[in-house]
């Protein structure tokens, strides 16, 4: 049993590294942005609608893309939440 663990130690380390990166990405992109208060998201959405009107979603997409290009997964998740709120408001007819 111990020889198996010793023989495959680099493989276990590699698998552990991959799992660690996956967990970190899930935390930074999916979970951590959920802790942004809804009021803050609404404030950003209201500002985008007031400033850009019908192009608000496009501007939020540009910010999300910029966060992706600079490998900022937290901001990418934040802007994704902003775009979802914009979609929700658009479907309800609150803005055009």
pLDDT bucket at 3, cuts 50 / 70 / 90: confident
Domain boundaries of the chain, sorted by first residue? 2-91
- In order of 12, 51, 90, the CA distances from 75 in angstroms are 32, 20, 22
Residue listed under structure tokens 């899930």: 26
**What is the Cα–Cα distance from 81 to 32, expressed in whole angstroms?**
11
| In the chain, % of residues over pLDDT 90 | 66
pLDDT bucket at 1, cuts 50 / 70 / 90: low
**What is the Cα–Cα distance from 61 to 25, expressed in whole angstroms?**
20
Mean local confidence (pLDDT), 29-35: 89
| Structure token digits, residue 28 | 């930074």
Mean local confidence (pLDDT), 39-68: 95
pLDDT bucket at 76, cuts 50 / 70 / 90: very high
**What is the Cα–Cα distance from 71 to 22, expressed in whole angstroms?**
15
């Amino acid at each position: 049993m111990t020889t198996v663990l010793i023989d495959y130690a680099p493989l276990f380390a590699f698998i552990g590294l991959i799992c660690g990166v996956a967990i970190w990405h899930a935390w930074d992109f999916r979970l951590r942005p959920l802790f942004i208060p809804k009021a803050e998201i609404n404030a950003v959405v209201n500002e985008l609608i007031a400033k850009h009107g019908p192009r608000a979603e496009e501007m939020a997409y540009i910010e999300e893309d910029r966060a992706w290009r600079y490998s900022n997964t937290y901001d990418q998740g934040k802007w994704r939440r902003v775009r979802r709120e914009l979609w929700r408001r658009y479907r309800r007819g609150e803005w055009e």
